[in-house]
C-alpha cells in the first residue's frame, strides 16, 4: 500500500494535479485496481455524473480505487470517490471555454488526459457518454439495471462565512442567484451546442433586476463573466472555492435563475427552487425533462421557453421584449409562492428511483409534447 501511495503522490506531481482529497489507509495494494477519470464537462453533465452515473459505477466496481480529476473545489458533489484531484484554478477558464456536455475540446484537456494515461488506467469522456447520450442509453440499463439517484448533503447556512451572511442581510428583501455565463447552450442543426452570449445582455438583466427591487446574488467561476466591475457593491458576489458552500448559499438565498446556462442542475443538487429560461427543443432532445422528473421530487420550479439565439443579436429593447420582461414577471410571482412549498431534505441521499415517474414523449405534427407519467396519476 505504501508503494501505491508514493506512486500516486508522484503521479499527481508529474501531471500537475493537486490532490484535493484522499485517505491514504484506504489505498489498494495493487496499482491495477486504480482507475483515474479526467472529467471537465459542463455544469449539466457534472450533475448527471455526480447523481446518476458515478456512484452507481463505483458500487458495481467495488474493487476499483477511483480517482476523479476535475474542477477545483467540486469534491463535494463526489464525496464517494476514493480520491479527488484538481487542476490549478488559473487553468479553469481555459477548460471552461471548451466544455460541452461530457466532452472538453480544449488542447489542455487532451494534454491532461494523455499525461494521466502514461501512469494510470484511465476512463475517458467516451466511456462516460456510453451511459448518457441525449438520455439514458441501452448501455446504462444493461449495466446498472435500475436508476440509483445520489444527492449530496447541503450544509446549513451556519457553514457560510460571516461576511457572506452579512451581505445577504443587506439589499432588497427579494434575492435571486444569477449565473452570468459567457456561453449559452442551444439546439442547432440537430445537436446541442454552445453559443457566445454578449456581456451586455447580463448588464441589461442585472440593471432591470435592481430596478425591480430584486438583488442579484452573482455566482462567478471560470464559466462566467466578472460582473463586479460593472456593479461593484450593488450586487452580492458568491465566489467560494468549495461547491458545498455554493449549494448552502443557493439554499440560503432561496431561488436560482438559469438563463440558458444549466445552473438549475446545481439548484437541484441544493434542493433550491429555480426559474429557468431554456429552449423547449433542447430541453426535450437532450433529455433534461427526465433529469427533472427523476431528481426534483416536489422541488418548486418554473420554465420560460425561449430561443437562445435571441440573445446573440439585437439590443436592450429586443432583449427586454423577448425575455427580460418575462423573467421579471415570473420571478415576482415565483419567489414568494415557492417559500410556502416543500423544497426537499438537505440530507445526503442515495436511493432507487423509478423511471416510471418520467413523462413520456409523444410525437405530433407540430412537434413533441409530453403526456402524463405515473406520478401524475
Q: At what angle do helices 325-338 and 199-211 cross, to 10 degrees?
A: 50
* Mean pLDDT for the stretch of residues 263-273: 98
**Where are any strands of DSSP class E within 72-167?**
83-86, 99-100, 103-104, 121-122, 147-151
Cell of 271: 434542493
Among candidate residues 325, 246, 329, 336, the one with its CA nearest the CA of residue 300 = 336
**22 and 138 share a domain?**
yes
Per-residue pLDDT tens digits for 176-196: 999 999 999 999 989 989 999
Q: Are strands 236-238 and 214-219 parallel, antiparallel or unpaired?
A: parallel
Instruction: Read off the pTM.
Output: 0.93
Domain assignment of residue 285, given as a range: 157-339
Q: Which of 181-195, 203-217, 250-264 has the lowest mean pLDDT?
A: 181-195
- The total number of structural domains in the chain stands at 2
Cell 499527481 -> residue: 12
Same-domain status, 193 and 325: yes
Other beta carbons within 10 Å of 345: 12
Q: Are residues 229 and 294 in the same domain?
A: yes
- Residues 189, 109 share a domain: no
Which residues are bridge partners to 257 per DSSP?
178, 275
The CATH number assigned to the domain holding 177 equals: 3.40.50.2000
Same domain, 244 and 286: yes
pLDDT in tens, 15-51: 999 999 998 888 999 999 999 999 999 999 999 999 9
Residue 283 DSSP SS3: helix
User: 170, 212, 227: which is closest to 330 by C-alpha?
Assistant: 212
Answer whether residue 374 is part of any domain: no
- Of 76, 27, 75, nearest in space to 11 by CA: 27
Burial tier of 286 (Cβ tally within 10 Å: 0-12, 13-18, 19+): buried
Alpha-carbon radius of gyration of the chain:
21
Residues 219 and 253: beta-carbon distance below 8 Å: no
Same domain, 103 and 169: no
Q: Are residues 263 and 169 part of one domain?
A: yes
pLDDT in tens, 270-284: 999 999 999 999 999
Amino acid at each position: 500500500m505504501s508503494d501505491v501511495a508514493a506512486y500516486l503522490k508522484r503521479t499527481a506531481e508529474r501531471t500537475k494535479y493537486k490532490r484535493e482529497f484522499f485517505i491514504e489507509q484506504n489505498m489498494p495494494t495493487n496499482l491495477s485496481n486504480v482507475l483515474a477519470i479526467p472529467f471537465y464537462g459542463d455544469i449539466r453533465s457534472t450533475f448527471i455524473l455526480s447523481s446518476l452515473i458515478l456512484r452507481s459505477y463505483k458500487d458495481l466496481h467495488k474493487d476499483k480505487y477511483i480517482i476523479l480529476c476535475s474542477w477545483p473545489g467540486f469534491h463535494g458533489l463526489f464525496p464517494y470517490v476514493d480520491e479527488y484531484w484538481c487542476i490549478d484554478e488559473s487553468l479553469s477558464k481555459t477548460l471552461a471555454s471548451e466544455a460541452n456536455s461530457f466532452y472538453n475540446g480544449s488542447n489542455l484537456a487532451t494534454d491532461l488526459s494523455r499525461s494521466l494515461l502514461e501512469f494510470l488506467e484511465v476512463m475517458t469522456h467516451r466511456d462516460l457518454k456510453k451511459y448518457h447520450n441525449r438520455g439514458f442509453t441501452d448501455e446504462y440499463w444493461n449495466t446498472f439495471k435500475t436508476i440509483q439517484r445520489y444527492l449530496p448533503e447541503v450544509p446549513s447556512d451556519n457553514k457560510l462565512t460571516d461576511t457572506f451572511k452579512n451581505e445577504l442581510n443587506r439589499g432588497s428583501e427579494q434575492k435571486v442567484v444569477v449565473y452570468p455565463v459567457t456561453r449559452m447552450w442551444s439546439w442547432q442543426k440537430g445537436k446541442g451546442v454552445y453559443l457566445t452570449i454578449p456581456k451586455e445582455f447580463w448588464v441589461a438583466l442585472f440593471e432591470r433586476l435592481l430596478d425591480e427591487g430584486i438583488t442579484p446574488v452573482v455566482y462567478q467561476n471560470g464559466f462566467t463573466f466578472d460582473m463586479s466591475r460593472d456593479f461593484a457593491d450593488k450586487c452580492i458576489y458568491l465566489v467560494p472555492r468549495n461547491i458545498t458552500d455554493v449549494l448552502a448559499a443557493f439554499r440560503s438565498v432561496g431561488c436560482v435563475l438559469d438563463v440558458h446556462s444549466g445552473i438549475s442542475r446545481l439548484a437541484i443538487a441544493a434542493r433550491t427552487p429555480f426559474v429557468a429560461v431554456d429552449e423547449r427543443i433542447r430541453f426535450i432532445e437532450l433529455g433534461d425533462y427526465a433529469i427533472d422528473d427523476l431528481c426534483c421530487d416536489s422541488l418548486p420550479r418554473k420554465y420560460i421557453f425561449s430561443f437562445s439565439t435571441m440573445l446573440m443579436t439585437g439590443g436592450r429593447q429586443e432583449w427586454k421584449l423577448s425575455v427580460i420582461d418575462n423573467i421579471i414577471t415570473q420571478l415576482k410571482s415565483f419567489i414568494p409562492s415557492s417559500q410556502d412549498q416543500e423544497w426537499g431534505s438537505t440530507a445526503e441521499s442515495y436511493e432507487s428511483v423509478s423511471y416510471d415517474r418520467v413523462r413520456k414523449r409523444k410525437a405530433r405534427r407540430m412537434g413533441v409534447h409530453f403526456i402524463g407519467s405515473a406520478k401524475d396519476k
